[in-house]
Every structure is written in structure tokens, then in C-alpha cells.
């Protein structure tokens, strides 16, 4: 049985701008990851079957990498992609992320569904990471 993470966040920005922040490498590098992490390299081939690779630098420790393949792209409404660590821990497995981006009276609601986790601990880790990332995205959009 796999475990799932679902969450939603409202951003005070137009839908097209939010979608751009979710998909453009230079924009992703600004907000992705937990507080204190940086993104020295972001590669995105935004097409069905295309891949992405993010290099993440924690405040302390070695860089690590996230990668995956785009399964569905419907700008500015929806993204579906796989998510896996290149340097996994024992409980990591590939998950599938579905992001929907809905306009709502001048704001934008981003809904996230990530399915396929092995343990509740990995769900909690990703919930914390997405929460920090969405906080950082809100700050970036406010500038």
C-alpha cells in the first residue's frame, strides 16, 4: 500500500505567473526546497517525456539531486511528473506529483497530490519540504 500527501495553498498572484514560477528553471531556483537550502542547478525540459534535474544544497552537508519525468503538461492548469532522489535513502521510492493551478478571484490556488510513499515518515518529510517551499514561493511572488 502506498501513502499519499495532499495539500493546497492560495497565492496572491495571477495563475499564469504562478505556473511560470513552477516551471521556469530560474524561477524554480528561487523558491524550491526547505528553508536554508539553495538550488545551484535546475534543468527542466518541459514537455511530456521530458525530464528535470534539481541540484539541492542543504545548509550543511553534501549536495543531492532530484529528478523525474513529465507525464502531463497543461499550461497554466496542470503538471504531472515523477519525483525521485538520485541518492535515495532506504525508504525512498519514486512518487508521482500532480499539481493543479486554479484561478480564484484574482488569486491562484495550487493543489498538490504526491502519491507512492513507502512510509509516514517520508510523507511528513515531504509535507514539511512542500510547506517551506510554498512559503518561499509566496515570498517570491510578493516581490
Give tens-digit pLDDT for 32-47. Answer: 999 999 999 999 999 9
Count of domains in the chain? 1
Q: Decide if 104 is inside a domain.
A: yes
Q: Looking at residue 89, what is its pLDDT?
A: 87
**Residue 114 belongs to what domain range?**
3-35+71-142
Q: Decide if 93 is inside a domain.
A: yes
pLDDT tens track for 48-99: 999 999 999 999 999 999 999 999 999 999 999 999 999 988 899 999 999 9
CA torsion, ordered 138, 140, 142, 143, to nearest 10 deg: 170
Q: Looking at residue 88, what is its pLDDT?
A: 84
Q: Decide if 102 is inside a domain.
A: yes
Q: Decide if 56 is inside a domain.
A: no
Taking the C-alpha atoms of residue 89 and residue 87, their distance in angstroms, rounded to an integer, is: 7
pLDDT higher than 80, residue 1 = no
Q: Looking at residue 10, what is its pLDDT?
A: 98
- Strand, helix or coil for residue 38: strand
Task: Give me the CATH number covering residue 124.
Answer: 3.30.530.20
Amino acid at each position: 500500500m502506498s501513502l499519499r500527501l495532499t495539500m493546497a495553498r492560495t497565492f496572491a498572484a495571477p495563475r499564469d505567473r504562478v505556473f511560470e514560477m513552477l516551471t521556469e528553471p530560474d524561477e524554480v531556483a528561487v523558491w524550491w526546497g526547505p528553508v536554508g537550502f539553495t538550488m545551484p542547478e535546475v534543468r527542466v525540459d518541459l514537455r511530456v517525456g521530458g525530464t528535470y534535474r534539481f541540484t539541492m544544497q542543504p545548509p550543511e552537508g553534501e549536495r543531492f539531486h532530484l529528478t523525474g519525468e513529465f507525464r502531463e503538461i497543461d499550461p497554466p492548469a496542470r503538471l504531472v511528473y515523477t519525483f525521485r532522489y538520485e541518492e535515495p535513502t532506504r525508504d525512498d521510492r519514486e512518487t508521482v506529483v500532480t499539481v493543479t493551478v486554479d484561478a480564484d478571484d484574482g488569486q491562484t490556488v495550487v493543489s498538490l497530490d504526491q502519491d507512492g510513499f513507502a512510509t509516514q515518515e517520508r510523507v511528513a518529510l515531504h509535507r514539511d519540504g512542500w510547506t517551506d517551499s510554498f512559503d518561499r514561493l509566496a515570498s517570491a511572488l510578493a516581490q
